[in-house]
């Protein structure tokens, strides 16, 4: 039996967006299914737009605000918004310096992005698109899905910082692409979520004593089920292939993210982060940036995503700039 504090499955997205607006009046405005940063009003720079389904809170709307996203177009639960709505978000964001559209690599998102970019170019807008799909293929016999995971959220801040520094659209997009090309993520799941609109469970992991590495966020499968491991063992198991994917080696600077999937406690996430920093230090790699907490969730799924990124001096400097959003604050 599903136990969620909602009123109606049909109105849950509208209601959560209304609540987001009421809770963050100093940071953003909500207009229908567009979440708009108040910082956009006086922006004289490249602007950053993204889009995606609801149900993953705080992502992505929780990262709308100064120093991150200018607008998010929000779809229904786990569903991309229409290409038309994404185009409208791009139009509203355009301040004459160009618009960067950030897209997670999922079929629905790709379709909406393609439609929006076509409409934008037809309208004569200056636009670039960067697609993130940093998921590694953990199972050598599985599919290489390259899904877009929580790593995109760190990219939001880096791209926005580049825009705030006065870089032009091509420069901002190239920095975002470089970031996307130098990060890798994987999901470790221990229990499955239920869909808040129909109560359907995404799997049967909760009935086992196993964890699944490389699992899809929405029950897509494709992962490898193994016996539960300690935090330290799990970190060692997944950090190595992530490092290999991006060529992270001794002497490099890194960013490390531990993203809780929805039911994992902060206690667990902090232990995982400690073990990640220590593991990388043993390999001669310094962690110079991080995010730890619930960033991109899937309802009450138990587990976490680890994201590692290889940073250079420019990326580190962009990261160390201010941001003020409902779910990410940096002085």
Among 3.40.50.150, 3.40.50.720, 3.40.50.10440, 3.30.365.10, name the CATH number for the domain at 13-181: 3.40.50.10440
**Position 145 pLDDT exceeds 90:** no
Identify which of 131, 74, 68 has the alpha carbon closest to the alpha carbon of residue 104: 131
Average pLDDT rounded to a whole number, residues 156-172: 98
Among 3.30.70.100, 3.30.1180.20, 3.40.50.720, 1.10.287.90, name the CATH number for the domain at 183-321: 3.30.1180.20
How far apart are alpha carbons 37 and 40 in whole angstroms?
6
**Where do the CATH 3.40.50.10440 domains begin and end in the chain?**
13-181
Tens digits of residue pLDDT in 253-306 = 999 999 999 999 999 999 999 999 999 999 999 999 999 999 999 999 999 999
Tens digits of residue pLDDT in 111-128 = 999 999 999 999 999 999
pLDDT score of 69: 99
Tens digits of residue pLDDT in 231-259 = 999 999 999 999 999 999 999 999 999 99
Phi/psi at 316 (5° precision): -60, -40
Q: How many other CB atoms sit within 10 Å of the CB of residue 206?
A: 12
Tens digits of residue pLDDT in 214-237 = 987 776 767 899 999 999 999 999
Return mean pLDDT, the chain. 96
**Where do the CATH 3.30.1180.20 domains begin and end in the chain?**
183-321
Residues 6+ apart with CB under 8 A from 233: none
How far apart are alpha carbons 102 and 130 in whole angstroms?
5
3-state helix vs strand vs coil in the chain, percent to 5: 35, 25, 35
Q: In Å, what is the CA distance from 83 to each residue of 89, 94, 110, 114, 309?
A: 10, 16, 9, 7, 30
Pairing of strands 71-77, 127-132: unpaired
Place of tokens 């120093």: 67
């Amino acid at each position: 039996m599903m136990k969620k504090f909602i009123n109606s499955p049909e109105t849950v997205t509208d209601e959560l967006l209304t609540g987001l607006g009421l809770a963050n009046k100093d940071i953003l405005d909500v207009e229908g299914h567009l979440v708009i940063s108040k910082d956009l009003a006086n922006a004289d720079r490249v602007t950053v737009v993204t889009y995606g389904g609801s149900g993953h809170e705080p992502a992505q709307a929780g990262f709308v605000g100064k120093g991150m996203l200018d607008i998010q177009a929000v779809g229904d639960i786990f569903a991309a918004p229409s290409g038309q709505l994404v185009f409208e978000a791009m139009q509203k964001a355009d301040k004459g310096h160009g618009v960067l559209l950030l897209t997670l690599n999922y079929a629905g998102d790709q379709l909406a992005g393609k439609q929006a970019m076509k409409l934008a170019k037809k309208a004569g807008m200056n636009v670039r698109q960067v697609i993130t799909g940093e998921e590694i293929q953990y199972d050598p016999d599985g599919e290489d899905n390259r899904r877009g995971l929580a790593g995109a959220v760190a990219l939001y801040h880096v791209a926005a910082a580049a825009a705030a520094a006065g870089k032009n659209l091509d420069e901002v997009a190239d920095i975002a692409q470089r970031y996307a090309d130098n990060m890798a993520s994987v999901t470790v799941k221990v229990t499955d979520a239920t869909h808040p609109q129909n109560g359907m469970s995404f799997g049967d992991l909760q009935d086992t004593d196993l964890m699944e590495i490389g699992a899809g966020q929405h029950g897509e499968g494709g992962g490898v089920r193994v016996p539960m491991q300690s935090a330290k063992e799990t970190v060692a198991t997944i950090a190595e292939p992530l490092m290999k994917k991006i060529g992270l080696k001794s002497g490099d600077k890194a960013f490390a993210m531990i993203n809780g999937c929805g039911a994992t406690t902060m206690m667990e996430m902090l232990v995982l982060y400690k073990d990640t920093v220590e593991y990388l230090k043993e390999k001669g790699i310094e962690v110079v940036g991080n995010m730890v907490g619930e960033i991109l969730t899937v309802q009450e799924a138990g587990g976490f995503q680890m994201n590692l990124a290889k940073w250079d001096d420019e990326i580190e400097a962009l990261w160390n700039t201010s941001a003020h959003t409902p779910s990410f604050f940096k002085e």
